[in-house]
Amino acid sequence: MPRNIYDALGNTDLKKVFADIIAASAALGVDFFGVGALVQNIWYLENNKMPRGTKDIDFGVYMPDEKTYSDLKSKLIDEYGYVQAENNAFCLISPDGIQLDLLPFGEIENDGKVMIEGKGLIDISLDGFVEVYKNGLRSVDIDSQTIKVCSIPAVVLLKLIAFDDRPEQRYKDPLDISSVMKHYHLLEDALIWEEYNRFFDGDLDSSEIGVVVIGCEIKKITENNPKLHARINDILERGIQLSSSLAVRMIVSGSDETVQEKQNLLRLLKEGLSSVNNH
């Protein structure tokens, strides 16, 4: 990874946000992990690919109750100069203007949802976060800081759920999923060869095998939660059948890609999710 990841991401102010969330979380004894575009960009940088850059940052924060979550936000506001966003109760703005989304999951959830006091967006569904926390994290070193972030298959899992929850607002998620599918076999070739070389015995090319492996890795995250596993399977099936807009929204370039190609990628992902021999 480049020595100065913050320069590579196009935003050196991110370093201060990382330091703040690390310090504030440690003071309250809560755990957190990076999700979303940040994780995807770190993955690209680790493999010498061009990141998209990011002006906001998302963290999943494991919370026992709403008071602890309120304490974390208050600490960042009172001691580090953050400001509560006006239209989103889960979002703070750093002194440098970076949007910090703190997504609470764990015991704070009630029937898979979190509702807190505030203005604007006050309730969210964070289906899959507990499973990712248990089975889909890795540690990365960024300069002198170490943080936990989602694995790339976990990113795909959470983006599938986020898009399914709010397709009218999450238009970038299918494009990010397409991007991961395109690059996964190139950037995770060692994992694929060491753990999934059985797939090379069939008719799939290396890119298609990569998509199947993403599905296999998602299965590892979801297999202990049958309800969540079934939901991912259903999301993929509806995308394949075009009863949702997932496949259509995955098209990056209308002149080079087709809906049928995206449907096939979702079939391959579903094949991995349903794989019997996953190890």
- Contacts with 94 (C-beta within 8 Å, 6 or more apart), sequence order: 13, 16, 17, 20, 80, 81, 82, 100
What are all long-range contacts of 169-178, with beta carbons under 8 Å and residues at least 24 apart? 171/249, 173/249, 174/246, 174/249, 174/250, 175/249, 175/250, 175/252, 176/37, 176/40, 177/250, 178/250, 178/251, 178/252, 178/262, 178/265
- Confidence at residue 62, expressed as pLDDT on a 0 to 100 scale: 95
Q: How confident is the model at residue 3 (pLDDT cuts 50, 70, 90)?
A: very low
Q: Which of 150, 184, 210 is the last residue of a domain?
A: 150
Average pLDDT over residues 246-267: 93
Determine the structural domain holding residue 118 and report its residue range: 5-150
Pull the structure tokens for residue 111: 């029937």
Whether 217 is covered by a domain: the verdict is yes
Q: Which of 150, 179, 210 is the last residue of a domain?
A: 150
pLDDT of 115 over the 80 cut: no
Count of domains for the chain: 2
Whether 31 is covered by a domain: the verdict is yes
Shared domain check, 216 and 144: no
Shared domain check, 208 and 75: no
* Strands of the sheet with 32-35, listed across from one edge: 83-84, 91-93, 99-105, 56-62, 32-35, 145-150, 137-142
Shared domain check, 171 and 248: yes
Shared domain check, 121 and 82: yes
Q: Which of 150, 175, 196 is the last residue of a domain?
A: 150
Average pLDDT over residues 75-88: 95
Average pLDDT over residues 9-36: 87
User: What pLDDT digit, counting tens, does each position of 208-239 carry?
Assistant: 999 999 999 999 999 999 999 999 999 999 99
Average pLDDT over residues 66-71: 93
Pull the structure tokens for residue 128: 């899959």
CATH of the domain at 45: 3.30.460
Q: How confident is the model at residue 10 (pLDDT cuts 50, 70, 90)?
A: low
